[in-house]
């Protein structure tokens, strides 16, 4: 997979799902930025997809 295409896919995911995510917004308000970020990385399905794309870039 081309590096540029991977970057475009990640950007599209972030803009589509993460930009206005209500779950992230609420977690951030209730528990703080670190907890919300941790949720996105460990439990969110979009975060899992982004991690898979990240492996192509490593």
Phi and psi at residue 3, in whole multiples of 5°? -60, -45
pLDDT in tens, 3-42: 999 999 999 999 999 999 999 999 999 999 999 999 999 9
pLDDT at 58 over 90: no
Residue-averaged pLDDT of the chain: 95
What predicted TM-score, i.e. pTM, was given to this entire model? 0.82
Residue 1 has pLDDT above 80, yes or no: no
Contact 45, 8 (CB under 8 A): no
Q: Which domain holds residue 11?
A: 3-57
- Pair 57, 3: CB distance under 8 Å: yes
Ramachandran class of 21: left when φ > 0, alpha when ψ lies in -120 to 50, beta otherwise: beta
Per-residue pLDDT at 31: 98
Give the chain's domain count.
1
């Amino acid at each position: 997979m081309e590096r540029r295409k991977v970057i475009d896919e990640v950007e599209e995911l972030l803009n589509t799902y993460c930009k206005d995510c209500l779950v992230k917004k609420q977690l951030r308000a209730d528990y703080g930025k670190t907890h919300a970020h941790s949720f996105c990385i460990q439990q969110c399905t979009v975060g899992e997809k982004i991690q898979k794309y990240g492996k192509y870039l490593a």
